[in-house]
A and B are shown apart, each in its own frame.
Chain A
Amino acid sequence: MTTMVSVKDVTKVYKRGAEELTVLDSLNLDVPEGEFVALMGPSGSGKTTLLNLIAGIDRPTKGAVVVGGKDIAVLSEGDLAKWRSRNVGFIFQFYNLIPVLSAVENVELPLLLTKLSRKERRERALTALKIVGLADRSSHYPRQLSGGQEQRVAIARAVVTDPQVLVADEPTGDLDAKSAEEILNLMETLNRDFKKTIVMVTHDPRAAERAHVQRHLEKGVLLQR
């Protein structure tokens, strides 16, 4: 099996004036293609930071982050943005849908960066909504949806460009048990049927159980399995 995500000897240091905070310290992590990894650890241990590096939202102070065979740590900010739009889908804890856009418009948003026609964009967005089971809510606005539904729309938005990698930062953190269950089922489907490689940060042991692999982060270092 090929490696989809490879974090190599990565150090991340945040500077606050004269103060330096080493959040990740010479960290190594390999995620094979098609894997579903749960990343656990106490608050402030650097989970989000690691996820941001994998998703190309941030760049490491030292080391390499290779995703799909490409070292994204050396890309410029503009190239990184372009890379993100094609290769990674991001799922947030608080859904982060755009309130002025309807469900289908939210899902369509990443496609605005492609060369697809208006009609094709709309079709793809509707297909993505169908996959998450919300085809009948396409014209609803975020405030008209429940938390679980909002997160499903957000997942549709993350997969609409058909990226190889999905990263999720506590996707069930703000949901009740039943909605959380639905979201986890959906992620499992995306991993199993749509072959998405998933890296999911979570606090919730029940959520972590659904992943194939569980890794623990403590003070910027991955615990050995």
Chain B
Amino acid sequence: MKYLPFVFKHLRRNWVRTGSTVVAMAVCIFLLCTLRSVLAEVDSMLAASSASRLVTRHSVSLTFNLPVAYEARIQSVPGVKSVARTIWFGGSLPAKKEGQADGGTDSTTDWSNFFNNMGVDADKFFPMYPELTIAPDQWQSFRETRQGCVVGSKLAKKFNWKVGDRFFLESFIPPYRRRSGPFEFVVSGVYEADLAKYPGTDVSTMYFHYEYVKEGLGREIGVGTYMVEIENGDRAAVVGKAIDALFENSSATSITETEQAFKAGFIAMAGNLALLLNGIGLAVAFTILLVTANTMSMAVRERRTEIGVLKTLGFSSAHVMGFVVGEALLLGVLGGALGVFGSQGLLYGLSVLPGVNELLAGIGLSGLQLKPEVAALGFFIAVALGLFAGLIPALSAYRARITDILRTV
């Protein structure tokens, strides 16, 4: 296209304006792509949660545990199939080993190696999760080993763990710490999930025996969350209410919600997350549209004479309009490309940065990445914004009459 250099020259001449418009556009697209990617990941995580699984927790906060005695009472509620106690252990690989004196507060926690680990009542917990698969011999060995644990395939790969490997975990939660130091675990098995069938399933968690930690601490530790499997997913709300009604007048009241709702709450953003993020994205996009439209109409107003001259030289109205649209489009393309690359850079950076990746995986966002369709959407929106912003100035350039523009009276 022989007119392209012409359009480029204008953008280069006003490089401050061009630069700031492109950067504004890039920031918009960057936010959009990044937010969309996070949302998509949250969605897939929620979709992976079963509606027939409920989570019962302390009504005050996740940091308070419920009494163990609640298990039998929850089990007695009509519609409940099975109840499994769990604790979120919050353990990480410590610098010190079991047997060494006092873990204490001075023992350093290596956050870069943080991963999700939970103590569960294995015989009840795993049957609730048909999406998780373990080889039968490994499962058997896990059940029979007090210190045994099963680790997700992704986690096993990361630490290069094989069956029989031993490691220590120390919790950062005071009630789960003990004077004699960290807990030792042995890998009994590796669990996997059919990610094609159950996309978003977490395979980065380590599960161990609840009883092992309880005995190791030598006291009751209560239950962080009860996983409750119900007969009929459609009756989740009713069953949940019935469970909470049991403990209404006790000192530890409960909240029961579906696993989906629980997870959404767990990443500290309510169900309005999507709405909020989309709202921000939309507001930003609209602002950028105004900025770009303003830039373009400034560019066109400044160049009224030039437009008159071009038309005098024989360039048609369509030509002149094309120049203006081309310029706006180019702003969109540059801004879009920059924004998409920025987002890709950030999401990739997060996925390889030590510590961050594990923290994300810890809240179930292990697969955070810029999907091609999100990148394409971001780029498309940038181009559309550019086009839209250039439209009105382009039309005014199209309509402008030479005799009106070039009058010098």
Contacts and interface: CB of A to CB of B under 8 A. Distances in A.
Nearest to A79: B316
Given A57-B403, A58-B403, A112-B2, A96 B317 contact: no
Interface of B: 2-3, 6, 9-10, 12-13, 305-306, 308-317, 402-403, 406-409
A196 B84 CA distance: 99
Contact of B305 (A78, A86, A96): A96
Nearest to A98: B306
Chain A interface SS verdict (over half): helix
A85 B305 CA distance: 18
Q: Max chain B CB contacts within 10 Å: which of A83, A90, A94?
A: A90
A93 interface: yes
14 contacts: A58-B402, A81-B314, A81-B315, A81-B317, A85-B315, A92-B406, A94-B408, A96-B306, A96-B309, A99-B306, A110-B313, A112-B6, A113-B315, A118-B2
Contacts, number: 65
B9 A100 contact: yes
B314 A100 contact: no
Interface in A49-89: 52, 55, 57-58, 77-78, 81-86
B403 A82 contact: no
Contacts of A78: 316-317
A42 interface: no
A44 interface: yes
A109 B312 contact: no
Contacts of B12: 100
B9 A81 contact: no
B312 A98 contact: no
A113 B408 CA distance: 27
A52 B403 CA distance: 8
A153 B391 CA distance: 33
B313 A44 contact: no
Given A43-B409, A44-B409, A57-B403, A85 B13 contact: no
